[in-house]
């Protein structure tokens, strides 16, 4: 809200649906009229990460987005024989280099507001290109905090 | 773990040899006897805890042993005496402890030192608790000490009662004192544990001693605050804030190592990037384009700096939006503006108000910072910080600096702060402040929570303003009477109908013409009338504060001048003046006075002078001024009654004088015969005026202007009154006072109401305590408070109705009835009032006692001085015959004397005021005013005051009724008046009933009432109004009046109509009316006499003579005698009797007032004496 952009209630309810109810796999937010962060796309539970990336870039090369994804991966703790399945929520701000600087700034400065609204997100990722938004890069970041 | 003994005194270092020999003794003896020169510490793992003396003494052996063993090393160790060295760690801490001791003064004890972690590995930081015995026990402070090349103090925190110590869950703890928040992270859990224990101990002691900031403790801490000498980066670390997301770049000194290649590259990138971004269209450009441009410029691959470049781009972009200059000294900006050093310098910003929790202070050493560490969310309470931010910005402004208020984007938090500042600093409302800021910086958008808080803040500010005003008004009231004026004005505004306000406004207008202060008052006063008065009040207050006393003095001077004028006038043969001075005999006395020329005047003048002197003295005494104000108010309230009586009298007089006389009076009060009648009328008018003036006086010294205005009004009114004297007389009986105050046209009904209300309000106003209340309740409360006064005033009202009956007077019987009613009412009312007053609480008793005392004194005085004066004789006889009544009368007389004195002063003032306008009118009016004011005012004053003070609640109810009734009477005179009067009577009765003391008076009143009833019945039978009469003893009177009114005008508005009609056929009507009035007066006199002499209840009709005699005994006799002397008409006699009742009422009021005055001044006796003398004079004249 530092930029004056507010977060709509739909974002919060949708977030809750993902976090608690696991009803969706991901959700894409966008800033509507430079005033409010709203929900653009809600991804079904069975959708894959690629679809998330596609939807994230659906606005075009000059558009920025926020994406929340319930990321699942397996993790084998040290000293354990069985790999455990982990679910982590990450919030990504997608600000491609091809986006206008002004828009980029708007999304960057509004990212705080969204972060405060969505409590419980384990990881925040700022991506400016696909290499930073790729599944591998994301998983690496998510695993970084896991105990080895 | 080690036991460490530190040599505190530097002298020990200078003389190591002594240490060798006497070290042990030092450590022991000094520990116990003198302020320990050496202390033992339990050191280990980064902590050092001081051991209590007992422990030190209990462990001399280790210390001693160590001391002896390490004597040589101690010398080596730079004069310090390391008693034991247990490992490097303890030795380091020992060294540091030793160095710390050089910072401490011998009186202070280092209780604990804890080593803290530092972001810079090479730094050594200690948190030290230092204590010192203060007057209230042990006082402690926290010192942050940097032990690097030098040992310096970096932080000083006093441990106060509000110290909060919290663990942050990360091996650290935070200490917050007085809103300053500091984080400490000891190097080990053990250290933290030790630190926490010590901190809790010292903070517990601080709570025990209830130390608070500015509480006179911890003055020794200033020694350290003045010695904060750590370098900037260390200070920044001490003041490091938690929860930071946006940190300032590492300070140069923290980077001990040479700047890395990357740093240099970033520096180049930053500068280049800035150039590029300045040269492109930021609305269209993309970050990719910028980066490619940057790579071109630098001719290098910046892939690894991509994130850095993105970040820098945002920073530069943000900095490109310059902070907005909201005010000359306030900039509103973003995080980037706060980080733009060049821009800050260029704008002359010296203070930065950082309204974020996540953003660091970028230049802590360069600018002065205030942090409001809040997030921008719906739960943030910014409201509580706005007082601090306002003070901070104001401070910066006073220092000639400028303030940058910033948050993250300068949109929500900082904008809210600036809006709040604008609201408070510029007295803007929320909308104006918001629009102002939004005009300057269109992007602001405080979140809804902040908007709500801003609205709340506006309410707080408004409340503060009101509070300030109220406090000011209170203080002013306490110090001066000005508030009273405000109150008076306000009171009318509350419930008063338009007429009163108009009248007041007119008076104000008149005042305005008088002088600059008057004009100011004028401006303020009209406002004061409206509920929005606050601002006006302030203005008034400001204006008043200076002039208040001055005005009083002026008033006194005026009164003096008035006295002179009066004297001259009296010399001219204004008998009216004389009676006025008496006040008691008021209307009656006027007639008599007319007969009695010079003596009365002289005595009266003397009295007046004395009164003036007294008033001046009072003025001199600020406290007295209040009491005076009260008295004035009382007098004012009385005025109505007096006015009524005076009016009645005047009416009677005019009647007696016949229309020609009235005409003469109207013409401008021709001296001689006309003077009498005109004097009366004028006096009545003057009475009203005087009442107004008195109100004004009571209100504020400034009231001078009011008085003048009033006098103007009065003069105008007088002229008008003269013109309509006949009508007015009739009307006056009912409304005169109010009418006078109000527009001449509106005088009749509305004016009455208004005037009454105004009087009431004025009375209420008189009470400084109730000023506010008076505002709201102006009418209702005023009425309520005035209840007593109402009773009196009602009595006077009754009188007026009775006077209105004068219209009915056409029927002599009816008139008589009405007059009798009036008399009865006054008599009954007065005793009631008296009783009521005492009834209420102890104060009443006191007042009674005082009254009694005054009465006795007055009696004595009267007996002594009166010997010659018939009045005094009359009084004494009356007292004998009717103790209650007589006492009341005597008291009233005495009080009247006092009140008359006041009244005289007031009247004198009014006279003075009048003088400028027209000598004739002024003279007459002053005289009249004196008379009228003297008589009625005191009564009303007393009654009002007593009632107000004693039984506000009861008075409120009754007063409301009364007020309502009067109002109704004014418009719906007939039925409503009757009803009201009946209500009032019933109320009065109730009061009487309630009061045990009143029992006697009740009986008397009952008898009177009976008599009145009988009389009424007789009258009614004759008139045919019997039906109405039969309603109730008291009621009958009013009904009769009403009926009379009806018969004459045939409608409530009748008075006006009658007046108008009368105007047309003034002479005839007046004559008839006068005759009727005279008859009525006679009857009333009889009735009054009867009432007064409750014993003569049965006499009613037949005892008219006796009644008359009674009246004569009191004051009427004088009047009658004077009338006889005049022998102009029997009407005069009739008139005289009515006056008598008024006198009784007045007397009661006067008594009350006198009692009050006595209470207040304790000068009642002299005043009473003075008054008595005039009375005597008057009687003498009468006898003459």
pLDDT (tens digit per residue) in B503-517: 444 444 444 334 444
pLDDT tier, B166 (very low <50, low <70, confident <90, very high otherwise): confident
pLDDT tier, B478 (very low <50, low <70, confident <90, very high otherwise): low
pLDDT, average across residues B130-140: 84
**Which of the listed ranges B685-689, B819-823, B974-978 does the model predict with the highest average pLDDT?**
B974-978
Q: CA separation (Å) from B1072 to B719, B799, B1068, B1137? A: 22, 19, 6, 18
**Which of the listed ranges B24-33, B1013-1022, B1127-1136 does the model predict with the highest average pLDDT?**
B1013-1022
Tokens of A88: 């982590």
pLDDT score for B823: 39
For B770, which DSSP code? Answer: T
CB proximity A8 to B under 8 Å: no
Q: Residues for chain A: how many in total?
A: 148
- DSSP strand E in B272-367: where? 324-327, 330-333, 349-354
Q: Is the pLDDT of residue B731 over 50?
A: no
- Taking CB atoms and an 8 Å limit, are A3 and B286 in contact across chains? no
Determine the Cα–Cα distance for residues B529 and B525; give it in Å rounded to an integer: 6
Q: Is the pLDDT of residue B263 over 70?
A: yes
CB proximity A105 to B under 8 Å: yes
pLDDT tier, B844 (very low <50, low <70, confident <90, very high otherwise): very low
Poorest-pLDDT segment among B154-168, B253-267, B802-816, B993-1007: B802-816
Q: Which of A2, A96, A105 sits opposite B411 (nearest CB)?
A: A2
**Which of the listed ranges B359-373, B574-588, B909-923, B934-948 does the model predict with the highest average pLDDT?**
B359-373
- Do B1128 and B1106 form a contact (C-beta atoms < 8 A)? no
Q: Is the pLDDT of residue B360 over 60?
A: yes
- Taking CB atoms and an 8 Å limit, are B407 and A98 in contact across chains? no
Chain A interface disruption, residue of B376, B410, B441, B444, most A CBs within 10 A: B376
pLDDT, average across residues B91-110: 81
- Do A27 and A47 form a contact (C-beta atoms < 8 A)? no
Tokens of A148: 């080895």
Tokens of B440: 């300057």
pLDDT score for B8: 57
pLDDT score for B366: 85
Write the pLDDT tens digit of every residue in B632-681: 333 333 433 344 443 443 333 333 333 343 333 333 333 433 334 333 43
Place of tokens 């003494």: B57
**Which of the listed ranges B584-598, B912-926, B1001-1015 does the model predict with the highest average pLDDT?**
B1001-1015
Q: Which of B287, B377, B445 sits opposite A4 (nearest CB)?
A: B445
CB atoms within 10 A of CB B997: 19
pLDDT, average across residues B680-707: 38
B439: Cα within 13 Å, side-chain hemisphere: 7
- Taking CB atoms and an 8 Å limit, are A1 and B443 in contact across chains? no
Phi/psi of residue B2, nearest 5 degrees: -160, 155
Q: Which of A3, A102, A105 sits opposite B411 (nearest CB)?
A: A3
pLDDT tier, B128 (very low <50, low <70, confident <90, very high otherwise): confident
Q: Is the pLDDT of residue B790 over 90?
A: no
pLDDT, average across residues B1137-1156: 45
- Do B719 and B536 form a contact (C-beta atoms < 8 A)? no
- Which residues of chain A does B314 touch, with a Cβ-Cβ cutoff of 8 Å? 104-105, 108-109
**A102 against B326, higher pLDDT:** B326
Write the pLDDT tens digit of every residue in B794-821: 433 333 333 333 333 333 333 334 333 3
- Taking CB atoms and an 8 Å limit, are B288 and A98 in contact across chains? yes
- Taking CB atoms and an 8 Å limit, are B407 and A2 in contact across chains? yes
pLDDT, average across residues B452-475: 84
Determine the Cα–Cα distance for residues B204 and B165; give it in Å rounded to an integer: 11
From A50's Cα to the closest Cα of chain B, the distance in A is: 24
Residues 6+ apart with CB under 8 A from B25: none
In 3D, which of B768, B770, B757 has the Cα closest to residue B629?
A: B768
CB proximity A2 to B under 8 Å: yes
From B270's Cα to the closest Cα of chain A, the distance in A is: 16
pLDDT score for A91: 92
Chain B residue nearest residue A127, CA to CA: B307
pLDDT score for B404: 92
Tokens of B900: 């008359």
Q: Which of B310, B314, B443 sits opposite A4 (nearest CB)?
A: B443
To the nearest 10 degrees (0 to 180), the angle between helices B998-1023 and B978-994 is: 150
Chain B residue nearest residue A7, CA to CA: B377
- Which residues of chain B does A95 touch, with a Cβ-Cβ cutoff of 8 Å? 287, 310
**B732 against A77, higher pLDDT:** A77
In 3D, which of B946, B1001, B952, B956 has the Cα closest to residue B1144?
A: B1001
Chain A interface disruption, residue of B246, B278, B286, most A CBs within 10 A: B286
Q: Is the pLDDT of residue B498 over 60?
A: no
For B215, which DSSP code? Answer: S
In 3D, which of A49, A50, A13 has the Cα closest to residue A29?
A: A13
Q: Is the pLDDT of residue B712 over 60?
A: no
Chain B residue nearest residue A100, CA to CA: B286
pLDDT tier, B393 (very low <50, low <70, confident <90, very high otherwise): very high
- Among the listed residues B407, B611, B749, B974, the single catalytic one is B407
pLDDT score for B259: 59
CB proximity A3 to B under 8 Å: yes
- Which residues of chain A does B317 touch, with a Cβ-Cβ cutoff of 8 Å? 101-102, 105
Strand pairing report for B125-134 and B109-116: antiparallel
- Taking CB atoms and an 8 Å limit, are A99 and B287 in contact across chains? yes
In order, the DSSP letters of B1171-1184 are HHHHHHHHHHHHH-
B662 catalytic? Reply is no
Size of interface A-B (CB pairs under 8 A): 73
- Taking CB atoms and an 8 Å limit, are A100 and B284 in contact across chains? yes
- Taking CB atoms and an 8 Å limit, are A128 and B310 in contact across chains? yes
Q: Is the pLDDT of residue B1125 over 70?
A: no
- Taking CB atoms and an 8 Å limit, are A101 and B445 in contact across chains? no
From A101's Cα to the closest Cα of chain B, the distance in A is: 5
pLDDT tier, B750 (very low <50, low <70, confident <90, very high otherwise): very low
Q: Is the pLDDT of residue B501 over 70?
A: no
Q: Is the pLDDT of residue B307 over 50?
A: yes
- Taking CB atoms and an 8 Å limit, are B282 and A128 in contact across chains? no
pLDDT tier, B412 (very low <50, low <70, confident <90, very high otherwise): confident
In terms of DSSP H, where are the helices of B104-136?
Answer: none
Determine the Cα–Cα distance for residues B576 and B585; give it in Å rounded to an integer: 10
- Do B933 and B639 form a contact (C-beta atoms < 8 A)? yes
**Which of the listed ranges B737-741, B1013-1017, B1041-1045, B1166-1170 does the model predict with the highest average pLDDT?**
B1013-1017
> What is the average pLDDT value for chain B, to the nearest integer?
55
Enumerate residue ranges in chain A where pLDDT < 50.
1
In terms of DSSP H, where are the helices of B348-481?
Answer: 386-398, 413-425, 430-440, 448-479
pLDDT, average across residues B262-278: 82
Instruction: Please count the helices (runs of H) and the strands (runs of E) in chain A.
Output: 5, 6
- Taking CB atoms and an 8 Å limit, are A97 and B288 in contact across chains? yes
pLDDT, average across residues B206-235: 81
From A99's Cα to the closest Cα of chain B, the distance in A is: 5
**Which of the listed ranges B30-34, B189-193, B650-654, B1066-1070 does the model predict with the highest average pLDDT?**
B189-193
- Do B947 and B634 form a contact (C-beta atoms < 8 A)? no
In 3D, which of B269, B226, B258, B405 has the Cα closest to residue B333?
A: B405
pLDDT tier, B555 (very low <50, low <70, confident <90, very high otherwise): very low
Q: Which of B290, B306, B409 sits opposite A3 (nearest CB)?
A: B409
CB proximity A4 to B under 8 Å: yes
From A108's Cα to the closest Cα of chain B, the distance in A is: 8
Poorest-pLDDT segment among B2-11, B455-464, B564-573: B564-573
ipTM: 0.77
């Amino acid at each position: 809200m530092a930029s004056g952009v507010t977060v709509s209630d739909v974002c919060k309810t949708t977030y809750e649906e993902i976090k608690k109810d696991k009803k969706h796999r991901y959700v894409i937010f966008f800033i509507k009229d430079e005033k409010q962060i709203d929900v653009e796309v809600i991804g079904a539970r069975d959708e894959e990460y690629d679809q998330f990336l596609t939807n994230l870039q659906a606005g075009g090369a000059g558009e920025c987005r926020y994406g929340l994804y319930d990321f699942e991966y397996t993790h084998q703790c040290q000293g354990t024989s069985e790999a455990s399945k982990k679910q982590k929520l990450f919030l990504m701000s997608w600000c491609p280099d091809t986006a206008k600087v002004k828009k980029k700034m708007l999304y960057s400065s509004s990212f705080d507001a969204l972060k405060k609204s969505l409590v419980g997100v384990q990881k925040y990722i700022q991506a400016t290109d696909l290499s930073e938004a790729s599944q591998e890069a994301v998983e690496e970041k998510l695993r970084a905090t896991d105990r080895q | 773990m080690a036991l460490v003994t530190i040599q505190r005194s530097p002298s020990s270092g200078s003389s190591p040899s002594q240490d060798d020999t006497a070290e042990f003794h030092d450590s022991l003896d000094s520990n116990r006897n003198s302020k320990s020169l050496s202390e033992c510490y339990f050191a280990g793992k980064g902590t050092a805890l001081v051991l209590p003396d007992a422990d030190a003494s209990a462990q001399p052996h280790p210390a001693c042993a160590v001391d002896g063993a390490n004597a040589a090393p101690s010398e080596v160790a730079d004069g310090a005496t390391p008693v034991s060295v247990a490992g490097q760690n303890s030795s380091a801490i020992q060294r540091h402890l030793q160095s710390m001791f050089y910072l401490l003064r011998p009186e202070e004890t280092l209780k604990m030192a804890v080593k803290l972690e530092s972001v810079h590995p090479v730094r050594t930081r200690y948190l030290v608790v230092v204590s010192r015995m203060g007057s209230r026990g042990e006082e402690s402070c926290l010192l942050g000490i940097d032990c690097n090349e030098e040992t310096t103090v970096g932080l000083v925190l006093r441990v106060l009662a509000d110290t909060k110590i919290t663990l942050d869950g990360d091996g650290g703890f935070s200490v917050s004192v007085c809103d300053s928040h500091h984080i400490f992270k000891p190097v080990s859990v053990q250290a933290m544990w030790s630190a926490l224990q010590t901190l809790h101990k010292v903070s517990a002691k601080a709570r025990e001693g209830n130390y608070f900031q500015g509480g006179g403790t911890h003055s020794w801490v200033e020694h350290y605050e003045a010695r904060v000498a750590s370098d900037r980066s260390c200070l920044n670390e001490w003041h490091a804030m938690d929860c930071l997301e946006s940190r300032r770049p590492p300070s140069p000194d923290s980077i001990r190592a040479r700047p890395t290649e990357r740093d240099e590259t970033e520096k180049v990138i930053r500068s280049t990037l800035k150039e590029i971004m300045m040269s492109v269209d930021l609305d269209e450009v993309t970050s990719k384009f910028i980066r490619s441009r940057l790579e071109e410029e630098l001719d290098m691959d910046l892939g690894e700096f991509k994130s850095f470049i993105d970040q820098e781009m945002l920073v530069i972009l943000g900095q490109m939006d310059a902070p907005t200059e909201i005010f000359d000294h306030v900039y509103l900006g973003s995080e980037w503006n706060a980080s733009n050093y060049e821009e800050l310098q260029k704008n002359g910003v010296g203070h930065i108000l950082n309204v974020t929790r996540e953003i660091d202070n970028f230049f802590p050493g360069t600018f002065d910072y205030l942090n409001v560490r809040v997030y921008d969310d719906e739960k943030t309470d910014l409201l509580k910080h706005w007082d601090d931010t306002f003070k901070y910005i104001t401070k910066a402004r006073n220092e000639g600096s400028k303030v940058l208020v910033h948050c993250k984007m300068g949109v929500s938090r900082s904008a809210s702060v600036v809006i709040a500042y604008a609201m408070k600093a510029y007295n803007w409302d929320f909308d104006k402040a918001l629009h102002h800021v939004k005009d300057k910086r269109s992007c602001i958008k405080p979140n809804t929570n902040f908007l709500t808080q801003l609205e709340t803040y506006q309410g707080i500010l408004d409340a503060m303003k009101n509070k300030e005003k109220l406090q000011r008004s209170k203080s002013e009231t306490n110090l001066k009477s000005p508030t009273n004026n405000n109150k008076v004005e306000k009171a009318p505004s509350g419930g008063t109908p338009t007429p009163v306000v108009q009248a007041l406004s007119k008076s104000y207008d008149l005042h305005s013409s008088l002088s600059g202060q008057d004009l100011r008052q004028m401006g303020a006063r009209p406002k004061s009338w409206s509920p929005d008065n606050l601002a006006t009040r302030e203005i008034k207050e400001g204006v008043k504060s200076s002039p208040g006393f001055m005005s009083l003095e002026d008033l006194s001077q005026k009164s003096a001048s008035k006295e002179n004028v009066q004297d001259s006038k009296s010399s001219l043969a204004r008998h009216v003046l004389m009676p006025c001075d008496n006040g008691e005999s008021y209307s009656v006395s006027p007639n008599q006075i007319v007969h009695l020329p010079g003596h009365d005047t002289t005595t009266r003048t003397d009295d007046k002078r004395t009164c003036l002197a007294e008033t001046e003295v009072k003025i001199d005494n600020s406290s007295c001024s209040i009491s005076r104000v009260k008295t004035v108010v009382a007098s004012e309230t009385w005025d109505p009654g007096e006015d009524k009586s005076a009016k009645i009298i005047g009416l009677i007089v005019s009647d007696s004088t016949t229309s020609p006389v009235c005409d003469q009076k109207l013409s401008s009060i021709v001296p001689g015969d006309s003077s009498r009648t005109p004097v009366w009328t004028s006096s009545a008018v003057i009475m009203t005026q005087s009442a107004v003036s008195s109100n004004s006086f009571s209100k504020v010294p400034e009231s001078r202007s009011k008085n003048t205005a009033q006098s103007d009004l009065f003069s105008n009114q007088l002229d008008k009154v003269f013109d309509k004297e006949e009508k007015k007389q009739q009307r006056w009986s009912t409304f005169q006072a109010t009418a006078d105050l109000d527009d001449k046209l509106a005088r009749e009904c509305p004016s009455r109401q208004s005037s009454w209300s105004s009087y009431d309000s004025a009375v209420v106003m008189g009470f400084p305590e109730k000023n506010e209340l008076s505002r709201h309740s102006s009418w209702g409360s005023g009425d309520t408070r005035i209840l007593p006064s109402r009773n009196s005033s009602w009595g006077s009202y009754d009188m007026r109705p009775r006077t209105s009956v004068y219209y009915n007077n056409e029927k002599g019987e009816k008139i008589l009835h009405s007059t009798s009613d009036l008399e009865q009412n006054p008599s009954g009312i007065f005793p009631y009032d008296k009783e009521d007053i005492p009834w209420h609480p102890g104060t009443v008793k006191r007042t009674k006692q005082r009254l009694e005392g005054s009465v006795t004194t007055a009696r004595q005085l009267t007996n002594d001085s009166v010997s010659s004066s018939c009045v005094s004789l009359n009084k004494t006889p009356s007292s004998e015959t009717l103790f209650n009544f007589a006492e009341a009368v005597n008291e009233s007389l005495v009080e009247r004397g006092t009140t008359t004195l006041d009244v005289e002063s007031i009247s004198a003032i009014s006279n003075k005021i009048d003088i400028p306008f027209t000598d004739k009118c002024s003279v007459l009016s002053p005289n009249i005013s004196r008379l009228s004011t003297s008589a009625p005012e005191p009564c009303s004053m007393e009654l009002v005051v007593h009632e107000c003070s004693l039984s506000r609640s009861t008075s409120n109810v009754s007063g409301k009724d009364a007020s309502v009734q009067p109002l109704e009477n004014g418009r719906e005179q007939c039925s409503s008046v009757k009803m009201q009067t009946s209500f009032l009577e019933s109320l009065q009765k109730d009061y009487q009933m309630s009061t045990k003391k009143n029992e006697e008076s009740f009986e008397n009143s009952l008898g009177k009432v009976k008599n009145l009833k009988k009389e009424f019945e007789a009258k009614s039978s004759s008139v045919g109004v019997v039906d109405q009469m039969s309603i109730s003893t008291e009621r009958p009177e009013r009904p009769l009046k009403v009926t009379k009114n009806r018969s004459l005008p045939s409608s409530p508005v009748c008075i006006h109509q009658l007046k108008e009609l009368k105007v047309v056929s003034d002479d005839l009507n007046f004559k008839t009316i006068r005759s009727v009035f005279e008859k009525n007066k006679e009857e009333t006199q009889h009735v009054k006499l009867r009432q007064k002499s409750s014993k003569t209840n049965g006499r009613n009709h037949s005892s008219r003579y006796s009644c008359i005699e009674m009246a004569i005994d009191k004051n009427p006799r004088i009047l009658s005698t004077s009338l006889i002397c005049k022998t102009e008409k029997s009407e005069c006699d009739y008139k005289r009797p009515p006056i008598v009742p008024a006198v009784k009422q007045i007397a009661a009021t006067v008594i009350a007032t006198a009692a009050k005055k006595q209470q207040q001044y304790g000068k009642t006796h002299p005043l009473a004496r003075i008054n008595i003398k005039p009375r005597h004079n008057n009687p003498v004249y009468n006898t003459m």
